[in-house]
């Protein structure tokens, strides 16, 4: 077998080393060279720079069969922090994470009254100042702020204006993509895995992480799973397509179906705002209400068809289900997807497609936003944003 040629050290090599250390928890320089394929001199130089920057540190040693114990390297958690804001219909979820993806602060605050008296940039600037001051985070260790929302809700130029007012980098990203990066980061997923997430909210999004970086597409619009058609002559969609899975399986579609169901409309509080109404249906479904379960299970079935197409196209090996739609009834969706993929995934005889539920589905996009900042900070050039 021909010997694999070691890749040259460059900007991507720093990102590679950081990702391997992050996913391994603790690893030696020799193991880093073996895993990455980089030469020992390249590893030594990159590690030296990362230690100088405070990104990683030596954390102990491991026995070696060939001589002296090997010093182990690990991420230095409290060296830098990322801040993520997730804009919802009525609230903003604020999250701070350290370099390992660990959450060091979280709060949810209403937006309505503030927006009546000030512009969005002023409101978000005030939220940033209050949130970081309350956590007593050193300002010089805060690497930036990322704002996430449904696609196109926050124009990129808003991020530019806010960056000027705060004096720190500000990124703008859609919630589905950010959630994928957050799950990838906090789960310490290996960059060798083809990783994706499904984000269930008012719409349906997907995030894809390949080689440790978000896949964004030609116009930063990759991951619009909700507009994958599951019926060419199906329900019309505002996007111009027909049969989009979003018209059958999103939170909005499920609540619309529940409100049209005489039995559910009579006994559940469905006149509440959208997310509260959906949670009422989801709680009834997991508590054994047969009509609520049938409705949610049908939505999960539609979603499973679309997700299988995505898995087949990209040959994904690991999926996480996240977003507010998974917070209560995630088990119903996970069961449906696992069953459908085990029977229909094209590569099912070669590898399993792991389907997992997010541990923090309501906060996943905010955590991912903060992870986007951290990744951009410690591996420059590895992360791009529409506001770049």
Structure tokens at 222: 């990759």
Asked if residue 120 has pLDDT above 50, the reply is yes
- Give me the count of residues in the chain: 388
CATH code for 11-75?
1.10.10.10
Residue of 354, 287, 342, 352 lying closest to 318 (CA atoms): 354
Q: Locate the domains of the chain by residue range.
A: 11-75, 80-175+365-378, 181-363
Confidence category of residue 151, pLDDT binned at 50, 70, 90: low
For 364-374, what is each residue's pLDDT tens digit?
999 999 999 98
Taken in order 238, 243, 249, 254, the sign of the CA dihedral is positive
Task: Please state, as a whole number, how many other Cβ atoms lie within 10 Å of the Cβ of residue 193.
Answer: 18
Q: Give, to the nearest 10 degrees, the angle between helix 40-52 and helix 29-36.
A: 120
Q: Are 251 and 278 in contact (CB under 8 A)?
A: yes
CATH superfamily membership of 181-363: ATPase, nucleotide binding domain (3.30.420.40)
pLDDT at 46: 93
pLDDT higher at 199 or 119: 199
Asked if residue 100 has pLDDT above 90, the reply is no
pTM of the model as a whole: 0.85
Q: Are 114 and 88 in contact (CB under 8 A)?
A: no
Q: Are 362 and 324 in contact (CB under 8 A)?
A: yes
Query: Strand, coil or helix: what is 238?
Result: coil
Q: Are 95 and 367 in contact (CB under 8 A)?
A: yes
What is the longest distance spanned by two Cα atoms in the chain? 75
Per DSSP bridges, beta strands 318-322 and 354-357 are parallel
pLDDT at 388: 40
pLDDT at 276: 93
Q: Are 246 and 254 in contact (CB under 8 A)?
A: no
pLDDT higher at 384 or 88: 88
Residue of 129, 120, 123, 133 lying closest to 168 (CA atoms): 129
- Report the alpha-carbon distance of residue 14 to residue 97 in Å, rounded: 21
For 352-362, what is each residue's pLDDT tens digit?
999 999 999 99
Instruction: Report the range out of 75-89, 171-185, 308-322 with the highest average pLDDT.
Output: 308-322
DSSP class of residue 106 equals E
User: Strands of 27-28's sheet, edge to edge?
Assistant: 27-28, 67-75, 56-64
pLDDT higher at 9 or 53: 53
* % of the chain with per-residue pLDDT over 90: 61
Residue of 256, 245, 232 lying closest to 300 (CA atoms): 245
Asked if residue 266 has pLDDT above 70, the reply is yes
Summarize the confidence of residues 260-287 as an average pLDDT: 94
**Bridge partners, 73 (sequence order):** 27, 58
- Report the alpha-carbon distance of residue 77 to residue 169 in Å, rounded: 20
Measured in whole angstroms, how far is the alpha carbon of residue 99 from the centre of its chain?
A: 16
pLDDT higher at 341 or 221: 341
CATH architecture of 80-175+365-378: 2-Layer Sandwich (3.30)
For 233-257, what is each residue's pLDDT tens digit?
999 999 999 999 999 999 999 999 9
Angle of CA points 160, 165, 168, to nearest 5°: 70
pLDDT higher at 197 or 78: 197
- Report the alpha-carbon distance of residue 32 to residue 163 in Å, rounded: 36
Asked if residue 68 has pLDDT above 70, the reply is no
Angle of CA points 101, 54, 161, to nearest 5°: 65
Confidence category of residue 169, pLDDT binned at 50, 70, 90: very high
DSSP class of residue 229 equals B
Same fold, 80-175+365-378 and 181-363: yes
């Amino acid at each position: 077998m021909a010997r694999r040629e070691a890749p040259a050290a460059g900007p991507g090599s720093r990102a590679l080393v950081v990702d391997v250390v992050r996913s391994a928890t603790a690893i030696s320089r020799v193991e880093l060279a073996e895993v990455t394929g980089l030469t020992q001199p390249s590893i030594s130089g990159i590690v030296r720079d990362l230690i100088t920057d405070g990104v990683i540190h030596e954390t102990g040693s491991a026995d070696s069969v060939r001589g002296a114990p090997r010093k182990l390297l690990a991420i230095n958690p409290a060296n830098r922090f990322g801040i993520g804001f997730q804009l919802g219909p009525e609230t903003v979820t604020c999250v701070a994470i350290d370099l390992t993806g660990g959450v060091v602060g979280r709060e949810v605050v209403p937006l309505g009254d503030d927006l009546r008296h000030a512009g969005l940039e002023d409101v978000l600037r005030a939220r940033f100042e209050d949130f970081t001051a309350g956590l007593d985070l050193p300002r010089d260790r805060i690497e930036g702020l990322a704002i996430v929302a449904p696609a196109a809700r926050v124009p990129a130029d808003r991020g530019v204006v806010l960056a000027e007012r705060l004096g720190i980098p500000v990124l703008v990203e859609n919630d589905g993509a950010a959630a994928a990066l957050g799950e990838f980061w906090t789960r310490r997923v290996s960059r060798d895995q083809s990783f994706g997430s499904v984000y269930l909210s008012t719409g349906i999004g997907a995030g894809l992480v390949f080689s440790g970086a978000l896949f964004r597409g030609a116009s930063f619009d990759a991951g619009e799973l909700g507009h994958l058609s599951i019926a060419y002559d199906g329900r019309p969609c505002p996007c111009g397509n027909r049969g989009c899975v979003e018209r059958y399986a999103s939170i909005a579609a499920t609540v619309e179906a529940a409100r049209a169901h005489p039995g559910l409309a009579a006994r559940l509080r469905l006149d509440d705002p959208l997310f509260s109404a959906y949670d009422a249906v989801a709680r009834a479904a997991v508590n054994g209400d047969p009509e609520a379960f049938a409705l949610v299970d049908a939505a999960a079935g539609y979603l499973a068809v679309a997700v299988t197409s995505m898995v087949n196209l990209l040959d994904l090996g690991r999926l996480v289900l996240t977003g507010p739609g998974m917070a209560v009834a995630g088990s119903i969706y996970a069961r449906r997807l696992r069953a459908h993929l085990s029977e229909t995934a094209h590569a099912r005889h070669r590898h399993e497609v792991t389907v997992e539920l997010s541990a923090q589905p309501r906060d996943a996009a905010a955590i991912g936003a903060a992870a986007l900042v951290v990744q951009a900070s410690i591996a420059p050039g590895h992360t791009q944003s529409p506001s770049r």
